[in-house]
Structure 1
Amino acid sequence: MRKSLMTRLAAAAFSTTLAISASALLPVPAAAQGVALTSCGNSGQGFAQWLELFKQQAVAQGVSPRAVSAALGGITYDANVVGADRGQKVFGQSFFEFSDRMVANYRIQQGRQLIQKNKALFDHIEQQFGVPGAVLVAFWGLETDFGAFMGDKQTIRSVASLAWDCRRAEMFRTQLMAILRIVERGDLTPQAMRGPWAGELGQFQFLPDHYLNYGVDFDGDGRVDLIRSTPDALASAANYIKALGWQRGQPWLEEVRVPSNLPWQQADLSIKLPRGQWAAMGVVRADGRPLPNDQLPASVLLPMGRNGPAFLVYPNFDVFTEWNNSLVYATSAAYLAARVAGAGPFNRGQGKAIPVLSQAQVVELQRLLNARGHHVGRVDGITGAATRQAVKVEQMRLGLPADSYPTPDLLAALRAGR
Structure 2
Amino acid sequence: MRKFITIGSISLFMGLGGVAPGFAQDTTVAQVSTVPADTVPFVVWLEGVKAEGLARGLKQSTLDAALDGVEPIERVLELDKRQPEFTRTFWGYLESFITQDRIDRGKKLLVTHADLLERVARQYGVQPRFLVSFWGMETNFGDYTGGFPVIGSVATLAYDDRRAAFFRAELFHALTILDQGHISVKDMNGSWAGAMGQVQFMPSTFTGYAVDGNGDGHKDIWTNLPDIFSSAANYLSQIGWDDTETWGREVQLPDGFDLDLVDLKAPKPISEWQALGVRRADGRDLPQADIEGAIVLPAGVKGPAFLVYGNFNAIMTWNRSIYYALAVGYLSDRLDGKGPLVAQKPADDAPLYRKDVLDLQYLLTAAGFDTGKPDGMVGPMTRAAVKAYQKANGLPPDGYPTQDLLSDLRKR
Give the secondary structure class of the aligned counterpart of 2:310. coil
Shift of the 385–298 alpha-carbon distance from structure 1 to 2, 3 Å rule, reads farther
Q: Measure the CA separation in 2 of the matches of 1:91 and 1:302.
A: 20
Amino acid at match of 1:85: D
| 2:274 aligned residue | 279
Q: Is the 8 A contact 1:91 1:326 kept in 2?
A: no
Deviation at 1:359, TM superposition (A): 2.9
| 2:195 aligned residue | 200
Amino acid at match of 1:8: V
| 2:16 aligned residue | 5
| 1:81 aligned residue | 76
Identify which of 386, 390, 403 aligns with 1:391.
386
Q: Deviations over 1:202-259 (max 9, x none)?
A: 1101101111110000011011011110110111011111122212211212111222
Where does 1:297-376 land on structure 2 (aligned, <5 Å)? 297-349=292-344, 353-354=348-349, 356-366=351-361
Q: Is the 8 A contact 2:209 2:235 kept in 1?
A: yes
Where does 1:115-264 land on structure 2 (aligned, <5 Å)? 115-264=110-259
Q: Measure the CA separation in 2 of the matches of 1:283 and 1:80.
A: 48
Q: Measure the CA separation in 2 of the matches of 1:38 and 1:174.
A: 17
In structure 1, runs of 5+ residues without a counterpart are: 23-27
Q: Is the 8 A contact 1:143 1:203 kept in 2?
A: yes
Range moving further from structure 2, 211-220 or 326-335: 326-335
Q: Measure the CA separation in 1 of the matches of 2:234 and 2:97.
A: 24
Q: Structure 1 length normalisation: TM-score?
A: 0.87
Q: What is the total number of aligned residue pairs between the two structures?
A: 399
Q: Deviations over 1:102-149 (max 9, x none)?
A: 111111121121112211211111111111111111111111111111
Deviation at 1:41, TM superposition (A): 2.4
Q: Structure 2 length normalisation: TM-score?
A: 0.88
| 1:25 aligned residue | none
Q: Deviations over 1:306-352 (max 9, x none)?
A: 11111111111111221111222222222212221222111334867
Shift of the 217–386 alpha-carbon distance from structure 1 to 2, 3 Å rule, reads farther
Q: Measure the CA separation in 2 of the matches of 1:192 and 1:245.
A: 32
Amino acid at match of 2:16: L
Give the secondary structure class of the aligned counterpart of 2:300. coil
Identify which of 13, 35, 39 aligns with 2:36.
39
Which structure carries more helix by proportion?
1
Deviation at 1:393, TM superposition (A): 3.9
Q: Is the 8 A contact 1:391 1:404 kept in 2?
A: yes
Which is bigger in relative contact order (C-alpha 8 A, separation at least 6)?
A: 2
Where does 1:16-95 land on structure 2 (aligned, <5 Å)? 16-18=26-28, 33=31, 35=33, 38-41=35-38, 46-89=41-84, 92-95=87-90
Q: Is the 8 A contact 1:144 1:205 kept in 2?
A: yes
Deviation at 1:273, TM superposition (A): 1.3
Q: Deviations over 1:53-100 (max 9, x none)?
A: 111111112212121111111111111111111115288211111110
Q: Is the 8 A contact 2:86 2:353 kept in 1?
A: no
Q: Measure the CA separation in 2 of the matches of 1:142 and 1:194.
A: 18
Q: Measure the CA separation in 2 of the matches of 1:370 and 1:8.
A: 30
Q: Is the 8 A contact 2:85 2:354 kept in 1?
A: no
Q: Measure the CA separation in 2 of the matches of 1:275 and 1:3.
A: 34
What do you get for the CA RMSD once the two structures are aligned? 2.8
Amino acid at match of 1:231: P
In the alignment, structure 1 residue 400 sits paired with structure 2 residue 395:
yes
Amino acid at match of 2:143: A
In structure 2, runs of 5+ residues without a counterpart are: 1-12
Q: Measure the CA separation in 2 of the matches of 1:340 and 1:117.
A: 13
Deviation at 1:379, TM superposition (A): 5.5
Q: Is the 8 A contact 1:7 1:88 kept in 2?
A: no
Paired-residue identity, %: 37
Q: Is the 8 A contact 1:94 1:356 kept in 2?
A: yes
Q: Measure the CA separation in 1 of the matches of 2:245 and 2:290.
A: 13
Shift of the 102–195 alpha-carbon distance from structure 1 to 2, 3 Å rule, reads same
Deviation at 1:389, TM superposition (A): 4.2
Deviation at 1:373, TM superposition (A): 7.0
